[in-house]
Amino acid sequence: MARRRLSQQQRQRIRQAQQTEALSADHLQALVVSHQGGRVLLEVERDDAVNTVDAKIKSNLGSIVCGDRVALEQGDRDDYRVLAILPRANLLQRIDGFGNTRAVAANISQLVVCLAVVPAPNLLLLDQYLLSAEQQDIRPLIVLNKIDLLEHASDPFELESIYRPLGYDLVNTSVENGTGMDLLRDRLAGEVSVLGGVSGVGKSSLTRWLLPDEEIRIADISAANEEGRHTTRSSRLYHLPGGGDLIDTPGVRGFNPWIDRSLSPAQGFREIRELANACRFHNCQHLREPGCAVVTALGDGRLASSRYQSYLRSLEAADTRTDR
Ligand SMILES: Nc1nc2c(ncn2[C@@H]2O[C@H](COP(=O)(O)OP(=O)(O)OP(=O)(O)O)[C@@H](O)[C@H]2O)c(=O)[nH]1
Ligand SMILES: [Mg+2]
Ligand SMILES: [Zn+2]
């Protein structure tokens, strides 16, 4: 345990040294638009022109993700090598099935949680994305796609009734008939947005709709899966015609958020955070403590039970997490 922590500190120090060295030596800088295996696709800005180049990565740099800014060097034969990741404004991370922390995207301003009428939304997954966004100060946006498949104009998944009152922005879209697409385009303008969600909700379809000229490039990075469906294999950052960037990511099975240990999980739930002010004990975990305003609100229906369940799940995750 102690050894592992030391090596993490060492890694951190090495990275800081690499950053300082790269910044001071006046190296080229670039934006990461894609990362596959040991290579990255970069946009290098030089003399008012932007070139897309393929680069290798110096070892021990840690994970590089879309949205990262990096320092690089150019070799004799027009080959490029990434030397350092420049300091990040933020980093969206999740815990994968093996318990490892995986970086998703960096320097983003908006997390677009993509849900669909089919496959039906999983509210736990939504809450986990929202928790990540809240903890990292990233603006969340909820999109319910394939609205054309909804037979009755109602709120079958309780997205409107639960999330709108909490102040979350919600857009219903259809790539099929264009519903809500102008609104979505408005919400994405000027932001650096990452699209997250399970496979098949339509993240790449939305991206393609917003970027008609990029169709071929999108087809390139997706491959037919077992059912013959095109599924995205790696993340890719695109520039929107109206300004702003959009990062399409591969679908996830679940999104186990990386939880900031310095914050309580309640910080990731707007209404629980608010209700907690009225709990009798300031360190109330909202389980069975006397005078708990959260449990009272749950009892009289002011707190959605799915939200409370999600809170319990993240409390559990925060408790059982080993130090990584
Ligand atoms: N009816 C309907 N079908 C849609 C809509 N948007 C996407 N689809 C279909 O849903 C399927 C999956 O779409 P994708 O865009 O590949 O989904 P994805 O979220 O990128 O999936 P992964 O890359 O595997 O994560 C495709 O067959 C699309 O044609 C929509 O608004 N309405
Ligand atoms: Mg896709
Ligand atoms: Zn409480």
How many separate domains does the chain show? 3
Whether 280 and 289 have beta carbons less than 8 Å apart is answered as yes
CA of 158 to the centre of ligand 3 (A): 25
C-alpha 234/C-alpha 249 separation (Å) is 6
What does the alpha-carbon distance between residue 133 and residue 317 come to, in Å, rounded to a whole number?
A: 17
From 148, 149, 205, give the residue whose CB has the most ligand 1 atoms within 8 Å, as the site to mutate.
205
What's phi and psi for 133, nearest 5 deg? -65, -45
Q: Both 287 and 251 in a single domain?
A: no
Ligand nearest to the CA of residue 198, numbered in listed order: 1
Residue indicated by tokens 């519903």: 179
Contact 53, 42 (CB under 8 A): yes
pLDDT beyond 80 at 296: yes
d(CA 105, CA 253): 17
Ligand 1 contacts CB of residue 148 (under 6 A): yes
pLDDT at 18: 72
Q: Which of 256, 281, 300 is the last residue of a domain?
A: 256
Atom of ligand 1 nearest to the CA of 252: 25
- In this predicted structure, what is the pLDDT of residue 22? 63
Nearest to 104 by CA among 59, 60, 64, 143: 64
Whether 205 and 132 map to the same domain: the answer is yes
pLDDT digit string (tens) for 14-32?
777 776 676 666 788 999 9
Boundary (domain end) residue, out of 65, 85, 105: 85
Q: Of residues 263 and 291, which shows the higher confidence score? A: 291
Q: What is the CATH number of the domain that holds 17?
A: 2.40.50.140
Shared domain check, 101 and 81: no
- Please state which of the ranges 67-71, 116-120, 249-253 shows the lowest mean pLDDT: 249-253
CATH number of the CATH domain containing 300? 1.10.40.50
> Distances from the Cα of 277 to the Cαs of 143, 246, 299, in angstroms?
30, 37, 17
Same domain, 239 and 164: yes
- In a shared domain, residues 227 and 296: no
Contacts of 227 (CB under 8 A, 6+ apart): none
131 and 214 share one domain: yes
Can you spell out the DSSP letters for 67-125? Answer: T-EEEEEE-TTS-EEEEEEPPPS-EEEEE-TTS-EEEEEES-SEEEEEEESSSPP-HHH
224 plus 96 within the same structural domain: yes
Please give the Cα distance from 118 to 307 (Å, whole number): 21
Ligand 1 atom 1 nearest Cα:
146
Residue of minimum CA distance from atom 3 in ligand 1: 146
Q: How confident is the model at residue 114 (pLDDT cuts 50, 70, 90)?
A: very high
Closest ligand (CA of 288): 3
Residues 122 and 233 in one domain: yes
Q: What separation in angstroms does the CA of 220 have from each of 197, 214, 233, 234?
A: 20, 10, 10, 11
Domain assignment of residue 271, given as a range: 262-320
- Residue 2: which pLDDT band, with cuts at 50, 70 and 90? very low
User: What percent of the chain has pLDDT above 70?
Assistant: 89
The residue among 81, 129, 73 whose CA lies nearest residue 105 is: 129
Alpha-carbon gap, residue 204 to 233, rounded angstroms: 11
Ligand having the closest approach to the CA of 206: 1
Q: What is the pLDDT of residue 256?
A: 80
Based on the fold, state whether residues 234 and 278 are members of the same structural domain: no
Could you give the 3-state DSSP secondary structure of residue 66? coil
Ligand 1 in reach of 208 Cβ (< 6 A):
no
A 10 A CB-CB count for 88 gives 14
Residue 292 has pLDDT above 80, yes or no: yes
Q: Which helix (H) or strand (E) holds 35?
A: strand 28-36
pLDDT of 58 strictly over 50: yes
Residues in CB range of 31: below 8 A, 6 or more apart: 42, 43, 45, 67, 68, 69, 237
Choose one of 69, 85, 101: the last residue of a domain: 85
| 250 pocket-lining for ligand 1 (C-beta < 6 Å) | yes
Which residue's CA is the closest to the ligand 1 atom numbered 9? 202
Q: Which atom of ligand 1 is nearest to the CA of 207?
A: 15
Output the CA 198–ligand 2 centroid distance in Å: 9
CA–chain centroid gap for 169, Å, is 16
pLDDT tens, residue by residue, 254-275: 778 777 777 788 999 999 999 9
From residue 102, give the alpha-carbon distance in Å to each of 12, 85, 96, 299: 16, 16, 6, 37
Whole-model pTM? 0.90
Measured in degrees and rounded to the nearest 5, phi and psi for residue 130 equal -65, -40
Read off the pLDDT of residues 62-85 as tens digits, 9 standing for 90 and up: 899 999 999 999 888 889 999 999
pLDDT of residue 64: 95
Per-residue CA distances from 59 to 17, 42, 93, 311 (Å): 14, 17, 21, 39
The reply to whether ligand 1 has any atom less than 6 angstroms from the CB of 175 is yes
